Structure 1
Amino acid sequence: MSDSVLTEEHVSTASRPSALRITDLRVANLHGVPFRSSIIRLDTNQGLVGYGEVRDQASATYALMLKSRVVGENPCDLDRIFRKIKQFGHHGRQGGGVSGIEMALMDLAGKAYGVPAYALVGGRFRDTVRCYADTPSLLDPHEMGAKLLERKQRGFTMLKMDVGISLLWDVPGALIAPAGARENLTTMHPFTGVQVTAKGVEHLADYVATVRSIVGYDVALAADHFGHIALDSCIRIGRALEPFTLAWIEDLIPWQFTDQWRQLTEAVAVPTCTGEDIYLTEGFKPLLDAGAIRVVHPDPATSGGIAETKRLGDYAQERGVAMALHLAASPIATMASVHLAAATENFLALEHHAADVDFWSELVTDLPRPLIQDGSIAVPQTPGLGFGDIDEELFRRRLDPRAPEFFADSSHWDAESSHDRLWS
């Protein structure tokens, strides 16, 4: 046989999509990246490996319980597998298993076809993805402004801070609250009985004014974590913050209360924003159909991963609503979000919650370091999610001490079975 003739035994079959099958699903639990993150690894019969990430601080069980539903499947059958498993997700962190597996499927399919994940959902609208730096709250507005200014000097063109009753508990006359309200984080906002007084509203407005005077008006600034307060207090705070041209005010009311969101949006001249705990496009439709928010804010690790959140973005765009992305994750879910953002025309900005985690960019290989430069992430052209591999040594150092095994054997999930069909 001529040396120029290639026979099958001399050709790698690692990119034969039709014969690709998932053979295993394992999870490694990390901590401090910036919170607890469970990294999903899907192995295949062709040596390709796909990575995804469960929503921050969610149970890894949400992914592991799906192992028997995806092993043996061809990861290139993205939509069919997603339709098979999406019934096992829910709002909040319960969407983390389905969403993380979807990211890993996208990683594998992209590698199998030799294309970036964004190509699987329609291609690019942009070459770089703008990030906004979330920053833990500080009681002193001058210290808060200085912290945000440092982010700005690093190149971030959008910032976010917490503004709410966490700043008011020790301010005399700022709040009217029943006993135990400060510790009560399980009662939904309209039912806590907490009211912000005129003095409290003024204190918050002065806080934001001070921060704005430090960071300037040439950078976008959003506000979050207003606390468990009812609609009337939210409206008065929103109106008081109008002079500071905030990018948005976020999650003032639980997302479930569509009509209250509509009332808030109509009452204030500040963009309203929610969505980080909503699962699937269908969960967002009441808010969007009612014109109840100005910015939709899914977390791709809850909302359904890349393709489903792209679908949501398109639905929001038809209703004149921009989409930002909530995220508190490792570079794995971040890169999944970068591909999603690249493919979504009405995208605004991607949250970065790890600006103070010095090793964060090093968790994966073959991407720029630091990953975020001048406040943006370059959209990679390499297959799948775009990074080479994980840094195994660093992963091992960052394993959660409560679950210290590195991609532990998960064979005890192999026999998990159920009659999953939702109809008779």
Structure 2
Amino acid sequence: MAPQIDPSTLKITDMRFADIDGAPKRCTLIKLYTNQGLVGYGEVRDASSRSYAAMLKSRILGENPCNVEKIFRRIKQFGGHSRQAGGVCGIEVALWDLAGKAWGVPIWQLLGGKFRDRIRIYCDTDSAGGGRDMGKALKERMDQGYTFLKMDLGIELLMNVKGALSAPLGFLEKMREYKKTVFSTPHGSIDPRAMRGEAYDLFNTAHAFTGIHLTDVGLDYLEQYMADCRAVTGYEIPIAIDHLGHIPLEDCIKLAKRLERFNLAWMEDPVPWQWTDQYVRLAQSTTTPIGTGEDIYLKESFMPLFKSGALAVVHPDVLTAGGIMETKKIGDLAEDHGVQMSIHMAESPIACMAAVHVAAATRNFMSLEVHSVDVPWWDQLVKGLPQPLIQNGYIDVPNAPGLGITELNEELIAEKLHRDFPIAWQPTDEWDKEWANDRQWS
């Protein structure tokens, strides 16, 4: 017989990690241990660092994990935009998992209840070749039951198309060099020096400063690519586009106008999210819906975009936005400003189920990304959920306590460990006693 859990005396006693690879990227899984045997599961955002979470261990040891908001307010100052939020958000997810398990209810119930019993999934789809090849790949998704789709459409498709791009001589060659070095090499084999230098600086230059422009040849190519896709999929199903590339606002406007006739669900992250005025100019220049949000941390950072009226869709990632409750609050703010919410997710089933609970509890939710449809073992990383997890393009909202995950598949995790971290759940005692005066006022 399982021991009786007393939520009022529950305490966090330890935090440990396991890094897996290929789900679809490197993912850091978190376990929070307690004095009553309960274990909570969380996750640092894809391609981030476990150090962002480990540095917070001493700040949460001995705390009652059911006090989610109290702990979140203590640690949220250590988060940041994009992957820098990974530690705060991963811990917040594990806290909710523990609170749900301690009180015997699913997380969506702790968020105020649910608006839906199943969550619509869209799958980001990669395809080599031309537009008809992408169209066929998308049509296969439709045949699998998916009712919402996303694809890449941008300068990556134009790198080898003669006359499609204008850029300072040598710039595109340096970008190709960096991408080949960093993105086509196992992470553990990368020389850290490859993450510095001219190629790195060029690849990480913001959109307005790259000097890359689409020519008429490039615009014609992308327009025809999209037409070829729609010729296969038809026009009824929603298709969003992503990864335009680091091109300036004026080129985004040209492309958005060319794509208006294709009935897109949204154009994602056309320029850095911080540039609200550019989003306004773009939205006022086209009828193609505009979306962003996966790199934004905390609800107050979303407010300028909401107030501007530039967004049709907001697209937060639970593991960047601030965790489960913060993403729910962002969805509610979006609804107040007439903005639809979808959720970005390119991580393991732990992050996926965190997003499922948010989606269930948020009224203006539309669709949840899953980036691992072609990873056959992805949903086997956890136990206690239906297999397959995605059925006919949806995930059922679980009624089990917490995230709904009963345990992790330790054998599979051991098989998929990242080469840099070959042992799972190693002790992290070196982080137990770190101390600093974290107060941000005098």
Q: TM-score range by the shorter chain?
A: over 0.9
Correspondent of 2:358 among 334, 340, 344: 340
Is the 1:55–1:93 Cα contact (8 Å) retained in structure 2? yes
Is the 2:58–2:435 Cα contact (8 Å) retained in structure 1? yes
Counterpart Cα distance in 1 of 2:211 and 2:129:
23
Correspondent of 2:272 among 249, 254, 263: 254
Correspondent of 2:303 among 278, 282, 285: 285
Alignment match, 1:76: 66
Alignment match, 2:114: 124
2:133 is equivalent to residue 133 of structure 1: no
Alignment match, 2:246: 228
Over 3 Å counting, the alpha-carbon distance change for 1:282 and 1:171 in structure 2 is same
Distance apart, 1:220 and its partner CA: 1.3
Is the 2:417–2:423 Cα contact (8 Å) retained in structure 1? yes
- Please report the TM-score for the alignment, with normalisation by the length of structure 2: 0.92
* Structure 1, gaps ≥5 residues long: 1-9
Distance apart, 1:138 and its partner CA: 2.6
One-letter identity of the residue aligned with 2:285: A
One-letter identity of the residue aligned with 1:327: M
Correspondent of 1:381 among 393, 399, 405: 399
Is the 2:127–2:133 Cα contact (8 Å) retained in structure 1? no
2:159 is equivalent to residue 169 of structure 1: yes
Counterpart Cα distance in 2 of 1:237 and 1:80:
46
Alignment match, 1:207: 225
Distance apart, 1:137 and its partner CA: 4.5
Is the 1:137–1:162 Cα contact (8 Å) retained in structure 2? no
Distance apart, 1:179 and its partner CA: 2.2
Is the 1:148–1:159 Cα contact (8 Å) retained in structure 2? yes
- Please report the TM-score for the alignment, with normalisation by the length of structure 1: 0.96
Deviations 1:282-325 (A, max 9, x none): 11111111112111111111001100110111011000001110
* Structure 2, gaps ≥5 residues long: 176-201
One-letter identity of the residue aligned with 2:385: L
Counterpart Cα distance in 2 of 1:98 and 1:352:
22
2:309 is equivalent to residue 303 of structure 1: no
Counterpart Cα distance in 2 of 1:151 and 1:55:
26
Alignment match, 2:292: 274
Alignment match, 1:65: 55
Correspondent of 1:101 among 82, 85, 91: 91
2:16 is equivalent to residue 23 of structure 1: no
Over 3 Å counting, the alpha-carbon distance change for 1:85 and 1:147 in structure 2 is same
Counterpart Cα distance in 2 of 1:407 and 1:215:
45
Counterpart Cα distance in 1 of 2:159 and 2:441:
51
One-letter identity of the residue aligned with 1:81: I
Alignment match, 1:3: none
Is the 2:148–2:238 Cα contact (8 Å) retained in structure 1? yes
Counterpart Cα distance in 2 of 1:179 and 1:82:
48
Query: SS where residue 284 of structure 2 aligns?
Result: helix
Counterpart Cα distance in 1 of 2:285 and 2:40:
46
Query: SS where residue 253 of structure 1 aligns?
Result: coil
Is the 1:27–1:39 Cα contact (8 Å) retained in structure 2? yes
Stretch of structure 1 that moved more, 180-189 or 69-78:
180-189
Query: SS where residue 267 of structure 1 aligns?
Result: coil
Is the 1:132–1:157 Cα contact (8 Å) retained in structure 2? yes
| Residue pairs, 1:341-360, within 5 angstroms | 341-360=359-378
Counterpart Cα distance in 1 of 2:204 and 2:387:
40
Counterpart Cα distance in 1 of 2:434 and 2:125:
41
One-letter identity of the residue aligned with 1:319: H
Query: SS where residue 383 of structure 2 aligns?
Result: coil
| Residue pairs, 1:12-51, within 5 angstroms | 12-13=3-4, 15-51=5-41
Query: SS where residue 241 of structure 1 aligns?
Result: helix
One-letter identity of the residue aligned with 1:225: H
One-letter identity of the residue aligned with 1:133: C
2:150 is equivalent to residue 160 of structure 1: yes
Counterpart Cα distance in 1 of 2:396 and 2:234:
26
Counterpart Cα distance in 2 of 1:297 and 1:181:
30
Counterpart Cα distance in 1 of 2:406 and 2:237:
33
Is the 2:18–2:30 Cα contact (8 Å) retained in structure 1? yes
Deviations 1:315-346 (A, max 9, x none): 11000001110110110000000000000001
Query: SS where residue 407 of structure 2 aligns?
Result: coil
Distance apart, 1:139 and its partner CA: 3.6
| Residue pairs, 1:87-98, within 5 angstroms | 87-98=77-88
Over 3 Å counting, the alpha-carbon distance change for 1:404 and 1:238 in structure 2 is same
Runs of 4+ residues deviating >6 angstroms: none
Alignment match, 2:186: none
Alignment match, 2:390: 372
Distance apart, 1:165 and its partner CA: 0.7
Deviations 1:197-253 (A, max 9, x none): 122111101000101111222321110000000011000100100111011000110
One-letter identity of the residue aligned with 1:404: P
Is the 1:176–1:195 Cα contact (8 Å) retained in structure 2? yes
Distance apart, 1:421 and its partner CA: 0.6
Alignment match, 2:344: 326
| Residue pairs, 1:383-398, within 5 angstroms | 383-398=401-416
Deviations 1:33-63 (A, max 9, x none): 1100000100000111100110000001001
Distance apart, 1:348 and its partner CA: 1.0
2:167 is equivalent to residue 149 of structure 1: no
Counterpart Cα distance in 2 of 1:255 and 1:309:
17
Count of matched residue positions in the alignment of Structure 1 and Structure 2 = 414
Correspondent of 1:111 among 101, 111, 115: 101
One-letter identity of the residue aligned with 1:104: A
Distance apart, 1:11 and its partner CA: 8.1
